[in-house]
Amino acid sequence: SQKIEQNSEALNIQEGKTATLTCNYTNYSPAYLQWYRQDPGRGPVFLLLIRENEKEKRKERLKVTFDTTLKQSLFHITASQPADSATYLCALDMYSGGGADGLTFGKGTHLIIQP
Amino acid sequence: NAGVTQTPKFQVLKTGQSMTLQCAQDMNHEYMSWYRQDPGMGLRLIHYSVGAGITDQGEVPNGYNVSRSTTEDFPLRLLSAAPSQTSVYFCASTPLGGNYEQYFGPGTRLTVT
């Protein structure tokens, strides 16, 4: 069956360092992969999308890579700040093969940036 | 724009009761979807819609009904609530084309006793 795996344990990073989060998936070839941020008591907020034919995407201090051979995406936050502390979710289009009908989400990684 | 709005914010139901979770968006997005989020399970897709009059099932549709009579509204109905439906429910909308970015509402926390 299709599966998305994110490191379920909390990730503790010192302020100013680069945080790297991992998203692995099996048994599927998604057209794109997305990353979201979720704060406690709130809905997820979209951060970045990377398509299957893209290796890397950047937005300010964020960088996402997508290796379709390894079936893995890495999410990097450079110069991390305590305000970056949140749960980060990866999501794939498991239902439509390229549309926006609905996503399958990983369970998320809780990132803690310590001052 | 208000974005995606959900009501109520909190709800307690007794087993067997029915209710409707409301979701509305004012961004004219074609796609809308409902997810539930449980500890240790992550977000799971319940139902989704690609436009008015069209709905389809997601990963966990049992016990839930949806309809999409307008572009703006996508209510989720619990027909006979069960304790297993205790969860936080999120509605999301997505514009046609672009990044397929999902805009989430603030969520409804439902407890079934």
B34-88 pLDDT tens trace = 999 998 888 999 999 999 999 999 889 999 999 999 999 999 999 999 999 999 9
Task: Provide φ and ψ at B83, rounded to 5°.
Answer: -55, -30
Q: Test A105 with B44 for CB contact under 8 angstroms.
A: yes
The reply to whether residue B42 touches residue A105, judged by beta carbons under 8 angstroms, is yes
Nearest to A8 by CA among A21, A26, A17, A18: A21
CA–CA distance, B55 with B50 (Å, rounded to integer): 7
Question: Nearest Cβ partner of B50 from A36, A101, A107?
Answer: A101
- Residues on chain B touching A46 (C-beta within 8 angstroms): 99, 101-103
Q: What is the pLDDT of residues A41-71, one digit of tens each?
A: 999 999 999 998 999 999 999 999 999 899 9
Average pLDDT on B15-43 reads 94
List of chain B residues whose C-beta atoms are within 8 Å of the C-beta of residue A42: 106-107
SS3 A4: strand
Q: For the beta carbon of residue A62, count every other beta carbon within 10 angstroms.
A: 16
pLDDT for position A44:
97
Residue-wise pLDDT for B75-113, tens only, equals 999 999 999 999 999 999 998 777 788 999 999 999 999
Where chain A has pLDDT below 50, the residues are 97-98
What six digits make up the tokens of B17? 């009761």
Chain centre to alpha carbon of residue B13: 17
Identify the pLDDT of residue A96: 54
pLDDT of residue B66: 98
Which residue is closest to A95 within chain B, CA to CA? Answer: B58
A114/chain B closest Cα distance in angstroms:
24
Sole residue written with tokens 């509305």? B24
pLDDT at B8 over 60: yes
Farthest CA pair distance, chain A: 42
Q: Do B104 and A43 touch (CB under 8 A)?
A: yes
Does A97 touch chain B if contact means CB atoms closer than 8 Å?
A: no
At residue A9, what is the residue type?
A: E
Query: Peptide bond before B39: cis, by omega within 30 degrees of 0?
Result: no
B48 vs A36, A101, A108: nearest CB: A101
User: Parallel, antiparallel, or unpaired for β A11-14 and A109-114?
Assistant: parallel
Strands B108-112 and B54-57: unpaired
Q: Which of B64, B99, B103, B109 should one mutate to test binding to chain A, selecting the residue with the greatest count of A CBs within 10 A?
A: B99
The residues with which A92 forms a beta bridge, in sequence order, are: A33, A104
Within an 8 Å CB–CB cutoff, is residue A40 touching chain B?
Answer: no
